[in-house]
Chains A and B, each alone.
Chain A
């Protein structure tokens, strides 16, 4: 004889919208991590290394066993006998005080633009300075207008290109410093001018590193 009426556990009148969500959410995060954060980049890397190893490893330019740079990354040139790249705003930690930074153009480990606004006096002052230096280095008149790319810092601080106008002005200096004919220097610039992609996209431009390597090759060929 059963006098104890054990009530059946009450079923919830309506299922909570939360029910059965927590587990899938946590498992979902882990599962999607494995697919998109691990498998996808690894498979892409494997495929790229197999099919396009040159580009996949940074489009490096080698001279013998020495890596001299990358086709896509600009580098700093100071000598009068080389074409100069655009100004660069990249910096590096100060060796004397790690909390400060010092200017280090074309530091490919810390890309950076100047982030100076259009009316910032610091921008105007540095453009004036670069204009004066450019005129002097290239023997231009004191009121000659200088191509804008030669006196403004690029967005990345690693811009590999200069404009054709900029290269042609510098060709005079480079030819003089190397004892080349101006015609030959200009011809080299022309050979290294890349046009618009499909005749439409981007700007005509000169890759400074490639041009300078070609200049050195010219000298080596003569000797």
Chain B
């Protein structure tokens, strides 16, 4: 037990240690958006695109550039998925995805969700794994971080229409952060045992004489962007539970640290760019407080095990020779501790890769990923997680301002009706999509045929699917057969709503704050760089974000927990 606590502390300490240099580096990338110190590959990129890197963009143009370029990328990847039969490197002869599935896949990867209604090894060729999936994973993540750069820049401005230049932000994040990090990490992953080859299989004759077909491919280059980009789609069906996607406990902890890297670093970037370091750490702290709470819950639930399995004769006790706990759907090399850490990280940083089957978690263990995706702001995905937290921060100063009867201020700007309307649009789009689509699916006649588990758990599978889609997470209670036209279309829409109904209103809100004058802090100003504010912020996230979903959670994991415990 002490070892496990030590491991958790070590991971959080390394994460904090990495957040500082990474955050400073990102701030330099974004700060330089105003000068002309472009790197050679960046200048080449601007020339290839035909854009002027010195153009200044208002929020509307910045947002449109993001939206339209993402649309073009999504369309291109859709086309490539449909043309898989004509592309090379298809050693297994996999057929192209059907139109509804290809739409779902393209929407999923451009929105940084990486929900997969297909199993990688049985559906995609090495060519589409590279040109459709790896490509979109870079696009979605880079666009998210770029947007956070524009967003933070807007917060740092006063009386200005200028949000920066989207192309510069995108290309700098791509060339200075994503590509170099992914390349180095991919080689470390290969060292740990991940394949990186263009051939698609190796055939073995097992010790007992059977034939075993091992699927190979460019896995390591896929895995590094998958986690640094908080993407999360798997090369293989079982994602990072597959020994080739996650061969050792070391690769597992590297996955975890890369998922947390950019979301945690952006709080430092914020503190640096606004010269409010303390404020950045307050945001960082509120992330960590929530994260530790959820980690403790999922770890204790899984280590305690499943009383029904104990009654069936399974020994789930932790001892010197076994880790114990609920091992259904888990890998032995990770055990309970590394699985719990992965479960809470992947749904906090909304990556969505899994190193265990979430469908087989205990009810309270499964409650944690659901709740973190519903809150969507415990770290959150690359870029958007930080934007979500700011949305809650503005809501917090608004509520505090209402209590004392003063116009709320945030970062020296007055928060007025327009900002609150935009924040509320973003806050409400999230539950509206999750609960609306879940309700629709429950009424849809064919849904029952897609469920693999009866009762409350079956409902949780549907709820999980739309929560994961809307939160742009991508993990699943994978027993749900989601490859039907109904689920492909509705989850595809949920992903697009979840992404753009958060991102665009918040960019508009930042644009509106940037245009305002800074007001000097007065005696009535509520200071936001204090532990008190941190506590209030966590409280608002839990109450506003959490209460909305309480009835739905009660019908799923809470009921199932009671069922599991009944004698």
Contact = CB atoms under 8 A, between A and B. Distances in A.
Interface residues of A, number: 113
Interface in B56-111: 58, 60-61, 64-65, 68-69, 71-73, 75-76
Interface string B193-212: 11111110111111110101
Interface string A144-169: 11111101111111111111111010
B12 interface: no
Interface in B195-251: 195-199, 201-208, 210, 212-216, 218, 220-222, 225, 236-238, 241-244, 247-250
Given A31-B49, A32-B174, A149-B327, A168 B321 contact: yes
Which residue, of B68, B167, B564, has the highest number of chain A Cβ atoms within 10 A?
B68
Contacts of B330: 152, 154-155
Interface in B101-139: 119, 121-122, 130-132, 134-135, 138-139
A98 to B, nearest CB: 13
Contacts of B477: 115, 117
Contact of B48 (A27, A60, A67, A115): A27
A202 B251 CA distance: 10
A146 B198 CA distance: 42
Interface in A36-93: 36-38, 40-41, 43-45, 47-49, 51-52, 55-60, 66-79, 82, 86
Given A25-B72, A109-B213, A72 B205 contact: no
B72 to A, nearest CB: 4
Contacts of A76: 206, 208, 210
A135 to B, nearest CB: 8
Given A33-B131, A152-B314, A40 B208 contact: no
B357 interface: yes
Interface stretch (B25-33, B287-295, B452-460, B500-508): B452-460
A203 B332 contact: yes
Contacts of B455: 119
B432 interface: no
In this complex, the interface size class of chain B, counting residues with CB under 8 Å from chain A, is 35 or more
B389 interface: no
B323 A163 contact: yes
Contacts of B122: 109-110
Interface of A: 17-18, 20-33, 35-38, 40-41, 43-45, 47-49, 51-52, 55-60, 66-79, 82, 86, 106-121, 123-124, 127-128, 131-132, 135, 143-149, 151-166, 168, 196-205, 209, 212-213, 216
17 contacts: A27-B48, A28-B49, A28-B167, A31-B45, A44-B221, A48-B220, A57-B197, A82-B207, A118-B328, A119-B455, A123-B309, A127-B309, A152-B326, A157-B238, A165-B321, A168-B321, A202-B338
Interface of B: 3, 6-7, 10, 45, 48-51, 58, 60-61, 64-65, 68-69, 71-73, 75-76, 119, 121-122, 130-132, 134-135, 138-139, 167, 174, 179, 182-183, 186-187, 190-199, 201-208, 210, 212-216, 218, 220-222, 225, 236-238, 241-244, 247-250, 252-253, 305-306, 308-309, 312-316, 319, 321-335, 337-338, 354-357, 359-363, 452-457, 460, 477-479, 560, 563-564
